[in-house]
Structure 1
């Protein structure tokens, strides 16, 4: 009989295998981001909890580098300024933490990427709603059915799971795959 750890690994492997259906979507999202960066746009990311960490991870790979020495790519994570986030949460509401920042910073030609396991958090939904109102392209990294955020995304990378750990594990793979594409493009190379 397998123990809990075997079960966790088996579930991870099944989700990863089911994610092969997302590969064309990953390529399409990579092309959208390349076009945005080529045209002078910026990527803005956000999420809650572990998804905020994924949003920051993606931004770090783009501003720093993934594997190659190349120019930094313009990316901002909206959860990294505790002063701004707590000011908005206090003066307005936690649900407005991302939408207020999007309204202040984002414009047409930019891309806004929300990382979420359920797609149901009010601050995620409001952030994507604000992004659409600015004319930005919206991208959703989510799981399950994508929740209310699904209808607000121009491009969706939906993990085939409803389990938070499996969704976040797949989000890490997806952000790394996109980082490889963008890193290679910025260096004038082919992804490897």
Structure 2
């Protein structure tokens, strides 16, 4: 390897490290700003505990990376977060490709979550949408359908919440317009809520 190649490689490594340091600094700044949302995070946890206490079900959905966050949340609820406790009912509406493509083909892509919500959601349930912009039509229509069904609606969003905010009973809006930062905070939030659910299901009086 020539001296020129070695120097270029070293320069690239330094540039990559600088870029990662910048990203980490941005993450810290958003996390610090998001601290003001902690009372709202607790309220979402309390709403879910109330729903499970009354026989309700958690329904989640999202697009792309937010679909993964939605599925992550239901995994923590049905399985467990840290404590060994009873399973709780949760369903992700963005994982059944047969149902979603049927709805998209026969009706519209905007209806892939809303039609499922119309079929499943009841007043005792919680319907939670994960979205970084709050502007996807399939998210907005699904929250609107959940409201009509009488379910409690939760928005895991970012920025100003977009049009989806108008249909949310509870909203956790990460103070950022950057998709990765919003999703990182959504993961923290769903973990914090899962901690509350674990504690309640395990009989911990701090979460009763």
TM-score (norm 2): 0.90
Match of 2:56 among 15, 30, 41: 41
Q: Deviations over 1:136-188 (max 9, x none)?
A: 00000000110000111000000010000000000000000000000110011
1:23-69 per-position Cα deviation (integer Å, ceiling 9, x unaligned): 10011111111000000000000000000000000000000011111
- Correspondences of 1:3-152 after superposition (within 5 Å): 3-152=18-167
Distance 1:49 1:12 in 2: 21
Counting matched residue pairs gives: 191
Q: TM-score, normalized by length of structure 1? A: 0.97
**Partners of 1:126 and 1:118 in 2: CA distance:** 14
Please identify, of 181-190 and 50-59, the stretch whose mean Cα deviation from structure 2 is larger. Answer: 181-190
Query: Could you list the runs of 5+ residues in structure 1 that have no partner in the other structure?
Result: none
Please give the secondary structure, in 2, of the residue aligned with 1:188: coil
Residue in structure 1 matched with residue 198 of structure 2 by the alignment? 183
Q: Which protein is bigger by CA-based radius of gyration? A: 2
Equivalent residue in structure 2 for 1:156, among 171, 179, 192: 171
> Partners of 1:172 and 1:69 in 2: how far apart?
21
Match of 2:12?
A: none
**Distance across 2 between alignment mates of 1:37 and 1:26:** 17
Quick one: distance in 2 between partners of 1:26 and 1:146? 15
Secondary structure at the aligned position of 2:142 is classed as helix
Task: Name the SS for the 1:79 alignment partner.
Answer: coil
Give the 3-state SS of the residue equivalent to 1:120 in structure 2.
coil
